[in-house]
């Protein structure tokens, strides 16, 4: 498919903007000649019809949750309700400038405040900030909170963060970006944190631990209370990565498990759309001792008025321009309001049932490194499927069957990993169909492996040369080439 740069017309239609209704002086007169742009950007002029056809055609080369099952482990690609989209698009919400005086933005402020209250309830923690705009951003915020907390106590030796070897890459990256060093704790044979290894690391240089609960294998840390107790007794703090909240929402609260910081991924658990890579929202809940350090401004309620509170002398400062991704928060708010407690409980029940149902069926055909009760996701391996057939081959062949592949090659502690998370919004029929396809592919792997090696053959493009892309990078349209 051509890019928009190849669809230009020199004389393009106009008509979006009106004529200038004030006397024109000209750019040079307003700015001085040397500030005026000399060469125009090579953005094509074209017609609305061309633009609409171009992007409509491009959209058909994509695959969204609206197209079918999206079983990506740890991504919680559940159905995105349409009412959420319309709520966020209400002009009263969309057309408000963040600098507007608080008294003219009471609707947004009330919603933000009420959402923080709801998230506090879901987390079982006393305070929430909506300022972080992604999970990793929430992690970074949490790491900043750790830093400020220990700084306030003069405990400057605490420079290490512990995390399990199954941790998502953003965890160590966030810790490092906040100025910590990281120490990996090995997982035991059951796939959970090795308590002995953890205790051996706990000393006065440890700031805390970063855990994903349940972990990235989809397994709940049965020793979670011992883990958090041990860390707290050693003077450290506990960070819980909430990417997998879909597995216990409505049934358990991280605050009751010993979490000091917990981040939500509104674009996972709370159904806001993924958008091809964002925008998300990474609300962060904290325990009492971290409240003074929360980013500013906070959203507060005084009487029946909502306001922005800047009075926090020990705050870490700000991590985003204003109050977070407000329009994304609106979608999450609408979702929680519809579901209520009953609906939230049904989410985790059905998510976990769907995952265990699939795991039970698929373990007959694929290797299951940790054969035990899983939560909302589980990890298979394609090792042993057939000689010379890899997880990559299986993933690409799934595309030929019109299904988005699961997460592959993560977590790193499983070879040829396939991480599957169906979510609660898939029907039994959809799950059965997915399992059938994976079983067929396993059979093909034995009988006709070339079908996997050549896959995909039914996608808009076939396997792309990643090596060439990395060795001779082309990151923008080559206007100057022939």
Of residues 244 through 283, those in contact with other proteins by CB under 8 A are 248, 250-253, 256-257, 267, 271, 273-280
Which residues 95-154 are close enough to bind other proteins by CB under 8 A? Answer: 95-101, 103-108, 110-111, 118, 121-122, 124, 133-137, 139-140, 143-144, 147
> Looking at 473, 480, 481, 482, which residue binds other proteins (CB under 8 A)?
473
- 242/281 Cα distance (integer angstroms): 12
Q: Which two tokens stand for residue 203?
A: 């000393």
- 359/366 Cα distance (integer angstroms): 10
Closest approach of Cβ 161 to other proteins, in Å? 9
> Looking at 92, 154, 303, 313, which residue binds other proteins (CB under 8 A)?
92
Torsion from C-alpha of 80, 319, 114, 266, nearest 10 degrees: 20
Nearest-CA neighbor of 185 among 175, 169, 197, 174? 197
Does 60 bind other proteins (CB under 8 A)? Our answer is yes
Does 371 bind other proteins (CB under 8 A)? Our answer is no
Nearest-CA neighbor of 377 among 80, 163, 76? 76
Closest approach of Cβ 15 to other proteins, in Å? 9
> Which of these segments, 41-49, 200-208, 377-385, 438-446, binds other proteins (CB under 8 A)?
41-49
Closest approach of Cβ 156 to other proteins, in Å? 12
CA distances from 286 to 138, 207, 211, 328 (A): 11, 16, 15, 21
Does 242 bind other proteins (CB under 8 A)? Our answer is no
Which residues 196-215 are close enough to bind other proteins by CB under 8 A? Answer: none
CA distances from 439 to 76, 145, 407, 416, 456 (A): 23, 47, 17, 17, 17
Closest approach of Cβ 362 to other proteins, in Å? 12
- Which CB, 197 or 346, lies closer to other proteins? 346
Does 8 bind other proteins (CB under 8 A)? Our answer is yes
Does 292 bind other proteins (CB under 8 A)? Our answer is no
> Which of these segments, 21-29, 382-390, 414-422, 434-442, binds other proteins (CB under 8 A)?
21-29
55: three-class secondary structure by DSSP = helix
> Looking at 232, 361, 433, 440, which residue binds other proteins (CB under 8 A)?
361
- Which CB, 39 or 303, lies closer to other proteins? 39
> Which of these segments, 198-206, 354-362, 381-389, 437-445, binds other proteins (CB under 8 A)?
354-362
Question: Token match 């159905």: residue?
Answer: 79
Question: Token match 């041990």: residue?
Answer: 230
- Which CB, 352 or 417, lies closer to other proteins? 352
Which residues 372-411 are close enough to bind other proteins by CB under 8 A? Answer: 373, 375, 395-396, 399, 404-405, 409-410
Torsion from C-alpha of 163, 168, 174, 176, nearest 10 degrees: 60
Closest approach of Cβ 200 to other proteins, in Å? 20
DSSP label at residue 157: T
The answer for residues whose C-beta is within 8 angstroms of residue 481's C-beta and 6 or more apart is none
- Which CB, 221 or 444, lies closer to other proteins? 221
> Which of these segments, 200-208, 234-242, 345-353, 436-444, binds other proteins (CB under 8 A)?
345-353
Does 440 bind other proteins (CB under 8 A)? Our answer is no
Does 43 bind other proteins (CB under 8 A)? Our answer is yes
The answer for residues whose C-beta is within 8 angstroms of residue 158's C-beta and 6 or more apart is 150, 204, 205, 206, 207, 208, 235, 236
DSSP label at residue 45: P
User: How many residues in the shown chain lie near other proteins by CB under 8 A?
Assistant: 203
Closest approach of Cβ 323 to other proteins, in Å? 5
> Which of these segments, 197-205, 229-237, 312-320, 414-422, binds other proteins (CB under 8 A)?
312-320
CB 308 within 8 A of CB 298: yes
Closest approach of Cβ 409 to other proteins, in Å? 8
Does 186 bind other proteins (CB under 8 A)? Our answer is no
Does 233 bind other proteins (CB under 8 A)? Our answer is no
- 400/129 Cα distance (integer angstroms): 43
Does 83 bind other proteins (CB under 8 A)? Our answer is yes
Backbone angles phi, psi at 149, to 5 degrees: -60, -50
Q: Which two tokens stand for residue 469?
A: 């892309």
Closest approach of Cβ 334 to other proteins, in Å? 6
228: three-class secondary structure by DSSP = helix
> Looking at 155, 201, 349, 439, which residue binds other proteins (CB under 8 A)?
349
The answer for residues whose C-beta is within 8 angstroms of residue 398's C-beta and 6 or more apart is 404, 405, 437, 438, 441
Beta partners for 367? 381
Closest approach of Cβ 380 to other proteins, in Å? 16
CA distances from 214 to 104, 245, 344, 362 (A): 42, 8, 17, 21
Does 463 bind other proteins (CB under 8 A)? Our answer is yes
Does 284 bind other proteins (CB under 8 A)? Our answer is no
H or E segment to which residue 347 belongs = helix 326-362
Does 422 bind other proteins (CB under 8 A)? Our answer is no
Does 285 bind other proteins (CB under 8 A)? Our answer is no
Q: Which two tokens stand for residue 211?
A: 């855990």
> Looking at 73, 142, 164, 172, which residue binds other proteins (CB under 8 A)?
172
Nearest-CA neighbor of 268 among 297, 291, 296, 247? 247
Beta partners for 206? 160
């Amino acid at each position: 498919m051509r890019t928009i740069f190849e669809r230009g017309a020199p004389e393009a239609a106009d008509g979006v903007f009106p004529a200038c209704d004030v006397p024109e002086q000209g750019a040079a007169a307003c700015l001085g000649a040397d500030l005026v742009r000399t060469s125009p950007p090579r953005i094509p002029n074209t017609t609305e019809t061309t633009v609409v056809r171009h992007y409509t055609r491009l959209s058909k080369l994509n695959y969204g949750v609206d197209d079918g099952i999206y079983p990506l482990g740890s991504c919680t690609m559940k159905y995105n309700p349409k009412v959420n989209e319309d709520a966020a698009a209400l002009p009263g919400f969309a057309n408000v400038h963040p600098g507007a005086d608080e008294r003219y933005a009471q609707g947004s402020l009330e919603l933000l405040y009420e959402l923080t209250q709801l998230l506090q309830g879901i987390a079982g923690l006393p305070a929430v900030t909506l300022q972080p705009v992604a999970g990793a951003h929430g992690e970074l915020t949490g790491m900043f909170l750790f830093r400020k907390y220990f700084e306030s106590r003069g405990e400057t030796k605490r420079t290490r963060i512990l995390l399990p070897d199954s941790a998502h890459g953003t965890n160590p990256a966030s810790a490092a970006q906040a100025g910590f060093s990281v120490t990996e704790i090995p997982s035991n044979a059951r796939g959970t944190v090795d308590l002995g290894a953890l205790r051996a690391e706990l000393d006065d240089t440890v700031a805390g631990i970063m855990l994903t609960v349940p972990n990235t294998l989809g397994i709940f840390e049965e020793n979670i209370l011992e883990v958090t107790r041990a860390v707290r007794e050693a003077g450290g703090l506990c960070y819980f990565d909430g990417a997998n909240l879909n597995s216990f929402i409505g049934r358990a609260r991280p605050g009751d498990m010993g979490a000091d910081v917990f981040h939500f991924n509104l674009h996972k658990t709370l159904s806001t759309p993924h958008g091809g890579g964002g925008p998300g929202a990474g609300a962060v809940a904290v325990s009492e001792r971290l409240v003074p350090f929360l980013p500013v401004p906070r959203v507060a309620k005084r009487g029946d008025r909502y306001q922005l509170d800047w009075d926090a002398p020990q705050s870490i400062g700000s991590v985003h321009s204003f109050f977070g991704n407000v329009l994304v928060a609106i979608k999450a708010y609408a979702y929680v309001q519809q579901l209520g407690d009953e609906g939230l409980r049904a989410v985790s029940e059905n998510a976990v049932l769907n995952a265990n149902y699939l795991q039970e069926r698929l373990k007959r055909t694929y290797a299951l490194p940790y054969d035990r009760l899983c939560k909302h996701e589980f990890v298979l391996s394609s090792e042993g499927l057939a000689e010379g057939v890899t997880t990559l081959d299986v993933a690409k062949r799934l595309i030929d069957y019109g299904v988005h592949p699961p997460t592959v090659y993560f977590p790193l502690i499983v070879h040829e990993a396939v991480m599957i998370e169906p979510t609660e919004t898939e029907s039994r029929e959809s799950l059965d169909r997915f399992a059938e396809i994976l079983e067929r592919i396993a059979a093909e792997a034995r009988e006709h492996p070339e079908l996997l090696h050549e896959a995909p053959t039914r996608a808009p493009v076939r396997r792309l040369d990643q090596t060439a892309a990395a060795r001779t990078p082309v990151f923008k349209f080559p206007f100057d080439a022939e």
